[in-house]
Amino acid sequence: MKRVVITGLGAITPLGNTVAEFWQNIVAGKSGAAPLTKFDASKFKTRFGCEVKAFRAEDYLDKKELKKYDLFTQYAIAACDQAILDAGLDFKQISETERYEVGVIWGSGNGGIGTFEEQLREYHAGDGTPRFNPYFIPKMIVDIAAGVISIRHKLYGPNYCTVSACASSNTAIINAFDTIRLGKATIMVAGGSEAAITEGAVGGFSAAQALSKRNEEPEKASRPFDQDRDGFIMGEGAGALILEEREHAVKRGARIYAELIGGGMAGDAYHLTGTSPEGLGAALGMKSALADAQIGPEQIDYVNAHATSTGMGDLSELKAIKSIFQDLPVAISATKSMTGHLLGAAGAVESIISVLAVYNNIIPPTINVENVDPEVPAGLNLILGEAVAQPVNYVMNNTFGFGGHTATAIFKKYTD
């Protein structure tokens, strides 16, 4: 099968709206959490989150286009434009035939939930006459970001959306990887976006007892592995990666950040929102990824854990990691301690972190851990407080979603 490399990155995140700014803040251990500004949250149990700051959609779209797209699609467009530019690609300069071999697979868990809520509010505030925006449905549906990216750049290759809750964008990246290595495309734009910091989404996750209520110190609220963690922090944004067939990338002289060598997916088959106590689905996904990559656990240098700062979720994942790595000194960190949980976009944003960890030989930290949960399996190498500079040749990126979806990708330092 063909080899697949990463040649472009783009990011819109709570810690910066470029990859450079985002990575700098991740390595520095900064938190993106702050009081909510998108709506009046004063009556909510959780009144903070990890919002994208100072995003200027008009830098990417004209006024007419802005009316057509929900915020999750605007984030997707911005991240993809960045990644395509970063990869040194100009699709306008290549033939239509070549663009038959360039596709888009994009993930999101909630799609245009903001548009959905807005339209229903306007309807119920009216006189009962059904007046809806003609863009209501295309703004709301989850697949539309993938479609818009394809239309924007005239890409005729495989094009669809993956929806597997918080595993959505990791699933998209794995599917794009498979598409290229099976010879069905030469280049794939992959990733995910989410703009679900809305009254309905925050209220719903809060009702499910999933969100932290540490309102007085939001920057310390996301604390994976800490014994006082009390839930995750809603995040938003987008991450885009350009996946490219290795020979094609080399031939055009592209910068190669890393190689994607394996992907694994599994089902936890346990609960609507919870994970099995021993992390069965997580372990199966990781084993599948290792088998696909044809490497052993001893070769993995760093695991970017899904760890969202929830009680059972963090522990079940660490138990799964322990079952696979045993006493190996693999480094483990939870970057959601800084970004919050970007839901369907989490896998893409954390794939960017994984790729840059390989490229720069830096393992980012887990912040806010004051007292490690005593139930954390002994002997795990948790990276806490500060980033660690060390050789990083293989990185495993985990993502899990409501419904028991698990997706694990493995990135490798690129060598000829």
Give catalytic residue positions.
166
Question: 128: helix, coil or strand?
Answer: coil
Contacts of 140 (CB under 8 A, 6+ apart): 70, 111, 112, 113, 115, 116, 119
Which CA distances in Å does 68 have to 30, 98, 115, 229, 286? Answer: 34, 28, 10, 39, 39
Q: Is residue 44 within 8 Å of 202, Cβ to Cβ?
A: yes
Q: How far apart are CA 55 and CA 393, in angstroms?
A: 34
Which DSSP state fits 364?
P
Longest dimension (CA), the chain: 66
Contacts of 36 (CB under 8 A, 6+ apart): 47, 48, 49, 51, 197, 202
Nearest to 161 by CA among 149, 151, 172: 172
What is the token pair recorded at 78?
Answer: 């911005």
Bridge partners (DSSP) of residue 260 are: 4, 411
In which residue are the tokens 């495993």 written?
A: 396
E strands of 335-404, at which residues? 362-363, 381-382, 388-389, 394-401
Residue 52 has a CB neighbour count (10 Å cut-off) of 23
Quick one: residue 215, left, alpha or beta (phi over 0 = left, psi -120 to 50 = alpha)?
Answer: alpha
Q: Is residue 97 within 8 Å of 53, Cβ to Cβ?
A: no
- Burial category of 384 from C-beta neighbours within 10 Å (exposed 0-12, middle 13-18, buried 19 and up): buried
Q: How far apart are CA 215 and CA 47, in angstroms?
A: 6
